[in-house]
């Protein structure tokens, strides 16, 4: 088990370095070397992911933004619940100021976190996005309707589910 933890940590470090070197829409954060371990490093990435992103103009290229948002979602399984919730809440507070952008993000979140083809299936991670759309009074009732119908399904406490394309028993 100790060996597999090292492999996961090394993979996260490589992912972090790869994200920083790849052509991205904005500069991703660089985790300080003093932070060790997969979860603390992922927490740092989640907490600082959007720091250098201008969320007012980034939606001019939705396709490029989708790549960055996908990278953000890919970090969620490795971060603590506290860091993930805090990061998503802060992100949605900023994005929610422009209802069209919030709807775009929620649709991406549904595809990446909740749909049948989601590569990171997590109801708990998707819920804040659905709630943000359902509660945003600037959106039309028809735009909020789907999220309003989704939110009550999650009202019962559920355990976190992380699954790949193959279901786990």
Segment 105-127, tens digit of pLDDT: 999 999 999 888 887 888 888 88
Which tokens belong to 6?
């090292």
DSSP 3-state of 11 = helix
- Confidence at residue 164, expressed as pLDDT on a 0 to 100 scale: 43
Give residue 161's pLDDT. 45
Low-confidence ranges of the chain (pLDDT < 70): 1-22, 142-169
Tokens of 87: 């990061």
Burial 118-155 (b: 16+ CB within 10 A, else e): bebbbbbbbbbbbbbbbebeebeeebbeebeebeeeee
pLDDT of 167 reads 41
pLDDT at 166: 40
8 Å CB contact between 31 and 44: yes
- Where b means 16+ CB within 10 Å and e means fewer, 27-51 reads ebbebeeeeeebeebbbbbbbebbe
Distance (Å, whole) CA 135 – CA 30:
34
Per-residue pLDDT at 158: 45
Positive or negative, the Cα torsion across 19, 23, 28, 32?
Answer: positive
Residue 97 DSSP code: T
Q: What are phi and psi of 136, to 5 degrees?
A: -80, 105
Residue 67 contacts by C-beta under 8 Å, 6 or more apart in sequence?
24, 25
Q: How far apart are CA 20 and CA 27, in angstroms?
A: 7
- Which pLDDT score, from 0 to 100, does residue 7 have? 56
CA of 53: how far to CAs of 19, 24, 117, 137, in Å?
14, 11, 28, 26
Q: Are 122 and 162 contacting, i.e. CB atoms less than 8 angstroms apart?
A: yes
């Amino acid at each position: 088990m100790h060996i597999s933890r090292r492999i996961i940590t090394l993979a996260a470090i490589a992912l972090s370095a790869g994200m920083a070197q790849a052509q991205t829409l904005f500069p991703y954060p660089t985790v300080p070397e003093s932070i060790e371990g997969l979860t603390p490093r992922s927490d740092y990435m989640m907490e600082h992911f959007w720091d250098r992103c201008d969320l007012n103009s980034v939606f001019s290229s939705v396709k490029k933004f989708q790549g960055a948002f996908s990278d953000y979602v890919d970090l969620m399984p490795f971060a603590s619940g506290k860091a993930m919730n805090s990061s998503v809440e802060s992100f949605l507070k900023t994005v929610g100021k422009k209802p069209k952008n919030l709807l775009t993000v929620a649709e991406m979140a549904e595809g990446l976190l909740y749909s049948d083809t989601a590569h990171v299936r997590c109801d708990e991670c998707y819920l804040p996005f659905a709630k943000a759309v359902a509660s945003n009074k600037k959106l039309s009732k028809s735009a909020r309707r789907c999220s309003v119908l989704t939110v009550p399904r999650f009202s019962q406490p559920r355990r976190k589910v992380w699954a790949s394309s193959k279901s786990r028993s």
